């Protein structure tokens, strides 16, 4: 749906405009105070002739011209007829403040459904209902219902929130400057994903900040994320409800290790979305990207402090948050040593002492020298800016940063205060003008810095997402034999195998396979075979095989009396190696998710896994494996064999392609263990769950 008339209207009507407190009065006050097209504003109130000195129309029909946007400040029972009346004025957008719709129960949901059907039929994009409105600071349109302090808020952050109060919090934040703010409310026929796509495409928006409670159009969400990644446009998201499950989990390890929160995190990671854990991070991350003149080209930082104690604190925080401290070249160190007193020493973090901090030209020289060092990607000035107790050092340091940033070749600079304090506005404005983000204090500041550095160096490989095309009502598990055959049919290498319904048939099949063998129960109804005595290993000869067949069948009849037993599965014993797990969990919204991690009996204990949406490229699969805590086990840990990691990567890629192709067939896959040796990667066991419709 076209959002132009909703978010960039030429003419606007406020229906229910008033001089009284409330939605009608406050929206009218806001619009007249902040908007730049009040000459194209129509105030509508059947009981008034003037409002705040402006003509009031008694109805929409009375307005002489077309109206692009109507802001409805009226009760729920008036909304349907007002939209029908607005359609006669070629209206294309509406803001509906009224509540009592989908948020209140079955009756409200039915009324919201009626609202959506009407709006779609009329071609009207609705913001809301139950929302706080929006502001377009680029075109000067303030269609927002909550009163705010009068000041300039124009900037380059596009903010979306399903909560009006969170938008209000953003408007109250002195560090945030906006292109657009949008309170989407119930998002009836225009969803959060539609606004996200609008802001990603918007040239006036440098950073997108989003508070999301739920996802209704996953394909559009992924498309918008991919567009942002290709543009290298930061998208910062705070998603609530992260502990909720997206679907009923089956019996596999994969299902238990890949719930809704983990799936969404994997989607964020794939597309370079910056995840905030709370509102403070949502605001601080967004503001930092907004202020930053250009992204760093690497992650190596030099911290500049005025005292040794502060340098020590920053060293600990940098280590805790994984911020790489640059190793400055000897020439740089020798030059900096000439700038500090005799008792000073040049390290990183750099205790530049008051000798540099109190001297603007000297600090400029120090920053330029550090910036020219090829081992350095960014500079971080760490000092607390305070307005009440003025420290002359602050003015010198802020001035030095501003002057140094005037050099277009200077590498990016960040500022982190040490303690929470009211910021001196003049200093903050100077840093903002120079393209230097004033980050939050300590941990929050380092968290923001790390997010920016990671985003700066991340490389995005576009892939066609495997979003399911239909919903499914049921599923069933295949036997291990059937599961492995399915993999083989889709190009995934499997070890030799055979099934036997009788002991005699088992002996005959064993001649082709060779001893020693593994013998397992062959049954769709038994997923965890060892739990019912359905597994025997290292069977060395015919006599032992006959005995094993009888034992396994007896065990399973006793311990799984309702299971249909079809015989046994025979496979040659595999060469033991590092045990890994590969899995697929088909999320109902985002499609197949690929999991890799430490396998065997430790998978649930350590939960050392990585998750990513299918399909995978080789580099994506390789990165997943390298991020595992157990990765050293594959790399020859403490004298062990160096495993064939490329074989594991290739297997992971092949399974991801199979899962993407089977996005409407495969529900879950559990391959545990995969034995990885110096000679390759071999599947030892597999459980496949497929949809039955």
> Quick check: is 282 in a domain?
yes
Give the pLDDT confidence score for residue 250 in this predicted structure.
34
**At which residue do the structure tokens 């009065």 appear?**
25
In this structure, the answer to whether residues 127 and 23 fall within a common structural domain is yes
Work out the angle at residue 216's Cα, subtended by the Cα atoms of residues 215 and 218, and round it to the nearest 5 degrees: 75
Q: What is the 3-state secondary structure (H, E, C) of 344-410?
A: CCCCCCEECHHHHHCCHHHHHHHHHHHHHCCCCCEEEEECCCCCCCCCHHHHHHHHHHHHHHCCCCC
Give the pLDDT confidence score for residue 242 in this predicted structure.
55
Q: In percent, how much of the chain has pLDDT > 90? A: 76
Q: Is the pLDDT of residue 261 over 80?
A: no
> Quick check: is 199 in a domain?
yes
Domain termination site, one of 405, 426, 457: 457
CB 520 within 8 A of CB 568: yes
In this structure, the answer to whether residues 557 and 678 fall within a common structural domain is no
Give the pLDDT confidence score for residue 388 in this predicted structure.
56
> Taking Cα atoms as reference points, which of 298, 366, 363, 297 lies closest to residue 335?
366
Taking the alpha carbons at both ends of the chain, their separation in whole angstroms is: 32
Produce one character per residue of 69-103: b if its CB has 16 or more CB atoms within 10 Å, e if not. Answer: bbbbbbebeebeebbebbbebebbbbbbbbbbbbe
Domain termination site, one of 402, 432, 457: 457
For residues 423-438, average pLDDT: 90
Give the pLDDT confidence score for residue 37 in this predicted structure.
74
In this structure, the answer to whether residues 276 and 265 fall within a common structural domain is yes
Q: Which residues contact 519 (CB under 8 A, 6 or more apart)?
A: 506, 535, 536, 537, 539, 545, 548, 549, 552, 568, 569, 570
- The C-alpha atoms of residue 255 and residue 94 are separated, in whole angstroms, by 42
> Taking Cα atoms as reference points, which of 593, 609, 596 lies closest to residue 660?
593
- The C-alpha atoms of residue 97 and residue 468 are separated, in whole angstroms, by 34
What pTM, to 2 d.p., does this model score?
0.89
Dig out the tokens for 52 from the structure.
């705040």
> Quick check: is 490 in a domain?
no
Peptide bond into 518 cis (omega under 30): no
Q: Which residues contact 632 (CB under 8 A, 6 or more apart)?
A: none
In this structure, the answer to whether residues 284 and 299 fall within a common structural domain is no
Q: Is the pLDDT of residue 244 over 70?
A: no
Q: What is the pLDDT of residues 341-389, one digit of tens each?
A: 877 789 999 999 888 888 999 999 999 999 999 999 999 999 888 765 4
In this structure, the dihedral spanned by the alpha carbons of residues 214, 220, 222 and 225, taken in order and rounded to 10 degrees, is -100
Q: What is the pLDDT of residues 619-662, one digit of tens each?
A: 999 999 999 999 999 988 887 889 999 999 999 999 999 999 99
What CATH code is carried by the domain that includes residue 501? Answer: 3.30.1490.20
Q: Is the pLDDT of residue 251 over 70?
A: no
Give the pLDDT confidence score for residue 422 in this predicted structure.
63
> Quick check: is 491 in a domain?
no
For residues 323-327, average pLDDT: 96
In this structure, the answer to whether residues 228 and 165 fall within a common structural domain is yes
In this structure, the answer to whether residues 318 and 263 fall within a common structural domain is no
What are phi and psi for residue 532, nearest 5 degrees? -115, 15
Q: What contacts 24+ positions apart, CB below 8 Å, involve 74-77?
A: 74/15, 74/16, 74/24, 74/98, 76/100, 76/101, 76/111, 76/129
Dig out the tokens for 498 from the structure.
């055979």
Beta bridge partners of 580: 598, 674
In this structure, the answer to whether residues 253 and 341 fall within a common structural domain is no
Give the pLDDT confidence score for residue 50 in this predicted structure.
95
For residues 281-287, average pLDDT: 94
Q: Is the pLDDT of residue 150 over 90?
A: no
Q: Tell the burial category of 641 from Cβ atoms under 10 Å away from its Cβ (0-12, 13-18, 19+).
A: middle
Q: What is the pLDDT of residues 63-77, one digit of tens each?
A: 999 999 999 999 999
Give the pLDDT confidence score for residue 247 in this predicted structure.
35
- The C-alpha atoms of residue 412 and residue 378 are separated, in whole angstroms, by 5
In this structure, the answer to whether residues 305 and 444 fall within a common structural domain is yes
Write the DSSP symbol of residue 26.
H
- Give the range of the structural domain holding residue 187, as residue numbers without chain letter: 148-291
What CATH code is carried by the domain that includes residue 608? Answer: 3.30.470.20
Q: Is the pLDDT of residue 601 over 80?
A: no
> Quick check: is 481 in a domain?
no
Give the pLDDT confidence score for residue 387 in this predicted structure.
66
Q: Is the pLDDT of residue 675 over 50?
A: yes
> Quick check: is 306 in a domain?
yes
In this structure, the answer to whether residues 362 and 429 fall within a common structural domain is yes
> Quick check: is 273 in a domain?
yes
In this structure, the answer to whether residues 26 and 167 fall within a common structural domain is no
- The C-alpha atoms of residue 438 and residue 289 are separated, in whole angstroms, by 10
- The C-alpha atoms of residue 685 and residue 495 are separated, in whole angstroms, by 10
Give the pLDDT confidence score for residue 257 in this predicted structure.
47
Least confident range from 238-252, 533-547, 604-618: namely 238-252
In this structure, the answer to whether residues 319 and 409 fall within a common structural domain is yes
Helices (runs of H) and strands (runs of E) counted in the chain: 24, 29
- Let me know how long the chain is: 693
> What's the pLDDT band for 271 if we cut at 50, 70, 90?
very high
Give the pLDDT confidence score for residue 254 in this predicted structure.
40
Produce one character per residue of 387-410: b if its CB has 16 or more CB atoms within 10 Å, e if not. Answer: eeeebebbbbbbbbbbbbbeeeeb
Edge-to-edge strand order for the sheet containing 498-500?
A: 498-500, 568-572, 517-521, 535-539
What CATH code is carried by the domain that includes residue 352? Answer: 3.40.50.261
Q: What is the pLDDT of residues 2-57, one digit of tens each?
A: 899 999 999 999 999 999 999 999 999 999 999 887 778 999 999 999 999 999 99
Q: Alpha carbon of 294 to those of 15, 128, 207, 288, 289: distances in Å? A: 44, 36, 13, 11, 9
Q: What is the pLDDT of residues 96-122, one digit of tens each?
A: 999 888 888 888 889 999 999 999 999
Question: How confident is the prediction for the chain on average, in pLDDT?
Answer: 91
Beta bridge partners of 674: 580, 683
- The C-alpha atoms of residue 209 and residue 285 are separated, in whole angstroms, by 9
CB 646 within 8 A of CB 678: no
Q: What is the pLDDT of residues 155-209, one digit of tens each?
A: 999 999 988 889 998 998 888 999 999 999 999 999 999 999 999 999 999 999 9
- The C-alpha atoms of residue 532 and residue 556 are separated, in whole angstroms, by 6
In this structure, the answer to whether residues 211 and 281 fall within a common structural domain is yes
Domain termination site, one of 572, 602, 628: 572
Give the number of domains in the chain.
5
Give the pLDDT confidence score for residue 256 in this predicted structure.
41
- The C-alpha atoms of residue 160 and residue 193 are separated, in whole angstroms, by 10
> Quick check: is 489 in a domain?
no
Q: What is the 3-state secondary structure (H, E, C) of 298-319?
A: CCCEEEEECCHHHHHHHHHHHH
């Amino acid at each position: 749906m076209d959002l132009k008339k909703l978010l960039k209207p030429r003419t606007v009507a406020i229906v229910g405009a008033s001089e009284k407190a409330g939605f009608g009065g406050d929206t009218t006050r806001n619009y007249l105070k902040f908007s730049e097209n009040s000459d194209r504003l129509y105030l509508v109130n059947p009981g008034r002739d003037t409002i705040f000195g402006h003509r009031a129309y008694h109805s929409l029909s009375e307005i002489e011209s077309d109206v692009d946007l109507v802001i409805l400040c009226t009760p729920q029972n008036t909304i349907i007829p007002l939209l029908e009346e607005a359609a006669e004025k070629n209206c294309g957008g509406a803001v509906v403040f009224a509540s009592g719709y989908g948020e209140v129960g079955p009756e409200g949901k039915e009324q919201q459904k009626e609202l959506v059907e009407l709006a779609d039929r009329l071609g009207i994009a609705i913001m809301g209902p139950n929302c706080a409105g929006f502001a377009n600071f680029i075109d000067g349109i303030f269609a927002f219902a909550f009163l705010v302090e009068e000041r300039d808020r124009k900037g380059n952050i596009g903010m979306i929130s399903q909560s009006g109060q969170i938008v209000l919090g953003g408007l109250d934040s002195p560090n945030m400057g906006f292109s657009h703010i949008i309170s989407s409310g119930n998002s009836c026929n225009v969803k959060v994903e539609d606004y996200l796509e609008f802001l990603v495409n918007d040239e006036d928006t440098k950073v997108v900040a989003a508070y999301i409670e739920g996802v209704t159009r996953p394909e559009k969400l992924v498309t918008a994320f991919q567009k942002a990644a290709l543009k290298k446009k930061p998208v910062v998201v705070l998603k609530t409800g992260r502990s909720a499950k997206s679907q009923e989990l089956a019996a596999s390890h994969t299902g238990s290790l890949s719930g809704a929160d983990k799936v969404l995190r994997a989607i964020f990671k794939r597309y370079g979305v910056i995840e905030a854990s709370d509102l403070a991070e949502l605001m601080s991350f967004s503001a930092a990207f907004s202020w930053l003149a250009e992204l760093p080209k690497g992650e190596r930082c030099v911290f500049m402090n005025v005292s040794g104690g502060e340098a020590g604190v920053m060293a600990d925080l940098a280590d805790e948050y994984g911020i790489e401290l640059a190793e400055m070249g000897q020439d740089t160190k020798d030059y900096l040593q000439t700038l500090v007193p005799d008792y000073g020493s040049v390290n990183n973090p750099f205790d530049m002492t008051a000798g540099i901090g109190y001297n603007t030209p000297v600090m400029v020289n120090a920053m330029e020298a550090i910036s020219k060092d090829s081992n350095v990607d960014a500079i971080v000035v760490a000092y607390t800016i305070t307005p009440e107790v003025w420290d002359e050092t602050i003015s010198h340091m802020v001035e030095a940063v501003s002057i140094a940033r005037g050099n277009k070749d200077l590498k990016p600079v960040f500022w982190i205060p040490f303690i929470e304090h009211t910021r001196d506005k003049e200093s903050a404005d100077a840093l903002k003008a120079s393209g230097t983000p004033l980050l939050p204090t300590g941990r929050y500041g380092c968290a923001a810095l790390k997010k920016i550095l990671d985003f700066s160096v991340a490389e995005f490989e576009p892939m066609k997402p495997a979003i399911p095309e239909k919903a499914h009502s049921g599923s069933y598990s295949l036997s291990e034999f059937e599961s492995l055959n399915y993999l083989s049919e889709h190009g995934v290498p499997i070890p030799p195998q055979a099934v036997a319904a009788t002991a005699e048939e088992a002996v005959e099949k064993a001649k082709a396979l060779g001893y020693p063998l593994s013998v397992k129960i062959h049954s769709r109804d038994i997923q965890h075979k060892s739990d019912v005595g359905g597994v025997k290993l290292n069977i060395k000869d015919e006599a032992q095989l006959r005995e094993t067949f009888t034992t396994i069948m007896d065990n399973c009849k006793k311990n799984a009396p309702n299971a249909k037993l079809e015989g046994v599965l025979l496979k040659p014993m595999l060469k033991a190696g590092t045990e890994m797990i590969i899995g697929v969990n088909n999320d109902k919204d985002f499609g197949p998710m690929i999991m890799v991690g430490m396998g065997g009996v430790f998978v649930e204990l350590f939960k050392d896994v990585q998750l990513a949406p299918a399909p995978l490229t080789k580099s994506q699969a390789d990165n997943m494996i390298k991020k595992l805590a157990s990765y050293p086990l594959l790399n020859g840990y403490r004298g062990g064999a160096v495993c064939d990691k490329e074989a594991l990567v290739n297997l992971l890629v092949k399974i991801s392609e199979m899962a993407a192709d089977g996005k409407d067939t495969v529900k879950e896959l559990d391959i545990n263990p995969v034995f990885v040796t110096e000679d390759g990667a071999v599947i030892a066991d597999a459980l496949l769950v497929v949809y039955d419709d």
